Amino acid sequence: MSFHKAISHVMDYLPKSYLFIFTSTLVGYQIFKLTYNLFFHPLRHIPGPKLAAATYLEEFYYDVVLYGRYTNRIKEMHEQYGPLVRISPDEIHCNDSLFIDEIYAGGNRKRDKPIHQVRGSGTVQQALFSTINHDVHRMRRSALSRFFSRAQVTQLEPKIHKLAERLCDKILVVGKKDPFDVTTAYSLLSSDVISGYCFGESIGLVAQKSWEPNFRKGLYALLNMMYYLRFFPLLRYMGLVMAPFTKVLSADVEFLIGTIHVDIKQAKEDKEAGIINEKTVFGSLIESTLPPNEKSVQRLSDEAIALFIAATETISWALSVITYHVLTRAEILEKLTAEVSQVVDDKGELPSWAALEKLPYLGAVIYEGLRLSYGVASRTSRVPTGEDLVYCGDWTPKGSKTSTRAEYVIPRGYAIGMSSAITHHDESIFPDSHSFLPERWLDERNQHRKELDRSLLSFSKGSRTCIGVNLAHCELYTLLSLLTLRVFPRMKVYETTESDVTYDHDIFNPLPVKTSKGVRAIIV
C-alpha cells in the first residue's frame, strides 16, 4: 500500500471511530446516570414514577412541550404515590400542609433555592428572589426588607389611597366607552405604587388617558421564557439564536427593562452628583453598606425588574379573581357594600388601612381571592442544606378506605417544595375548594379563622416569604374598598365566565385556559 493510500485509509477510518467513541461514551454515561438515579441515588426511597426519578423527561414534556402543565401532573402523582413524590431525579414535591414549616423554615435553618428552578428566572438572576445561597439571600434581604415593614407601608398609604381614587375615576370614565381588561386596569395602580416607591416618582400609568402602555406584555414575555431557560440555560447568552424571538417581544420587554435601567442609572448618577434619595428603595440601597458588587447597575436592575414582576401581576390577578366573583354573585357585593359603607365618615372618606383590616367580611373576601389566585402557582422549592428532614404522615390512596402511614428521611442538599395550586385545593382543609366561599374564613363569632392561614401559601412562608406582603395588603384593602363603594355598583362583567378566572396551567403565575380573553368588564 502506498503512503498516500495508507493516509486516506486512516482519514476514512478515524472520523467514524471518533463518532463511535463519542456516541458510545454519551450513551454509556446516560445509562450510568439512569442506573445511579434509580438504584443508588439518595432519593431512591421516595416514591414516584420511574421516568421522573431517572430523568427530567417527564418534567420537560409537561412544562415545555405541553407548556406549564407539570403542576397538574404532580397532583395526579400525589393521588397515586402519597404525600411525598419524587418529581425529578433531585427534587421532591409535598402536598401535606402540616409539613410547610419544615420545608419553608425560618430563623437559622438554612434554605437554598434549587439551581434548576432559579435558571428559569434568566433575566433577573441576581435578584433577591433568584438568590440560590442562603447566606447571600440573608444579606440581600436585610438590605431590602426595612422598606416593606408595616410602618413604612403605613407612611406610603396616603399615596396609595390617592392613586386608588384616581384609578376608580379613570375606570368610571374610560370603562364607559368600551369593555376593558380589569387585570390591566388594576396593574396600572400596582405599577405606579412600586415605581414611585423604588425611584421616588411613579411612572404615571394611572394618569395616562388609556390603558396602554403598561408593563403586562413585557412581564409575560419574560415569564414565557421561564421553562425554556430552565432546560436550556445557555439561551440566556445566545443573543444570535434568541434574536428572532426577542425581536418579536422587544417593544414590550424594552418598555419594562428599558424604563428600569434608565431609573437605576439615574439613581446612581444622582449619588455621584451628591443627590441623596434615601427615601426611595434604590436611592437607599445605593447608600447602604452592601458591598460594591451588590450595587452594580446590573444587580440593581435585576432587583428592580424582579420587584416589578413580583409586585404587579400578583396583586392585579388577586383583585381580578375577586372582581369576577363579586360582580357575578349579588349576595357577596351586597354584604361587602354593607360592611364597608359602615366605616366611611360623613364625607364618604375611607378609614385607614389598619381600620379596614378589622372588617371581617372584607378580609374574608380578600383571603378567598388570595387563595384562588394562588400567588405563585408553580412549585417553589427549597434546599435544606444544614439538616435532614423527617417526614411522617398518613394518607389514603385513591379508591381505598384505609389510611396508610408514610415515613421518610429527606437527605440534606435536595430540593423539596409545594405548590399553592395543589395545597389550596386540599379538600380536608378547604372543602368545596374550587368554589369562591368567603365565609370559610370566618368562625361562628364572625372572626378570621387563623388556623387556615397556615395552609395558605399565596405569599409562601419562612425565610423567603414574600417581602411585599404589607404593601400587597394595603393595596388590596384600599382598592377593593373603593371599588366596592364607587365602581362595582356600575360595573358589569363583559363576555367573561368562570373559566377565565380558573387555574388551567402556570408559568410561575397561574393562567386560565389558553382561549381566555381575560377578565373583562364595562361601566354601565
Instruction: Name the site residues for ligand HEM (rule: CB under 6 A).
Output: 128-129, 141, 148, 194, 307, 310-311, 314-315, 318, 375-376, 380, 458-460, 464, 466-468, 471-472
45 vs 162 by CB, closer to ligand HEM: 162
Encode burial over 127-136: b for 16+ CB neighbours within 10 A, e otherwise.
bbbbbeebee
What is the rounded CA–CA span in Å between residue 485 and residue 336? 9
φ/ψ of residue 491, rounded to 5? -110, 140
Cα separation, 524 vs 520, whole angstroms: 13
Q: Give the nearest distance from C-beta 45 to ligand HEM in angstroms.
A: 26
Taking the complex as a whole, the smallest distance from the CB of residue 175 to ligand HEM amounts, in Å, to 23
Range 139-171 burial, b when 16+ CB lie within 10 A, else e: ebeebbeebbeeebbeebbeebbebbbebbebb
- CB-nearer residue toward ligand HEM: 194 or 480: 194
Alpha carbons 424 and 167: distance in angstroms, whole number = 31
Q: Which is nearer to ligand HEM, 145 or 210 (CB)?
A: 145
Closest separation in Å from C-beta 10 to ligand HEM:
56
* CB 163, min distance to ligand HEM, A: 14
For residue 112, the surrounding DSSP H or E stretch is strand 111-112
From 451, 505, 421, select the one nearest 93 (Cα to Cα).
421
We find the least distance from the C-beta atom of residue 105 to ligand HEM, in angstroms, to be: 13
- Let me know: does 173 contact 185? Beta carbons within 8 Å: no
Query: By three-state DSSP, how is residue 401 classified?
Result: coil
Residue 371 CB, nearest approach to ligand HEM (Å) = 10
Q: Supply the Cα-derived Rg of the chain in whole angstroms.
A: 26
Question: Alpha-carbon distance 211 to 219, whole Å?
Answer: 16
Of the candidates 137, 70, 67, the one whose C-alpha atom is nearest the C-alpha of residue 109 is 137
Strands (E), 129-260: 180-181
Q: Would you say 129 or 488 has its CB closer to ligand HEM?
A: 129
Nearest residue (CB) to ligand HEM, 37 versus 420: 420
130 vs 484, beta carbon nearer ligand HEM: 130
> In whole angstroms, how close is the CB of 189 to ligand HEM at the nearest point?
11
Distance CA 354, CA 7 (A): 86
Name the minimum Å distance from CB 148 to ligand HEM.
5
Give which of 139, 85, 193 is closest to 476, Cα–Cα.
193
Q: Which is nearer to ligand HEM, 306 or 487 (CB)?
A: 306
Shortest separation between residue 111's beta carbon and ligand HEM, angstroms: 10
- Residue 276 to residue 270: CA distance in whole angstroms: 7
198 annotated among ligand-binding-site residues: no
As a whole number of angstroms, the distance between CA 230 and CA 115 comes to 9
Kindly report the three-state secondary structure assignment for every residue of 27-81. Answer: HHHHHHHHHHHHHHCCCCCCCCCHHHHHCCHHHHHHHHHCCCCHHHHHHHHHHHH
By C-beta, is 81 or 414 nearer to ligand HEM? 414
Q: Which residue's CB is nearer to ligand HEM, number 194 or number 372?
A: 194
Look at the block and give the residue holding cell 442538599.
Answer: 413
- Sheet strand arrangement including 491-493: 180-181, 520-523, 491-493
Strands (E), 292-399: 380-384, 389-395
Per the annotation, binding residues for heme are: 466
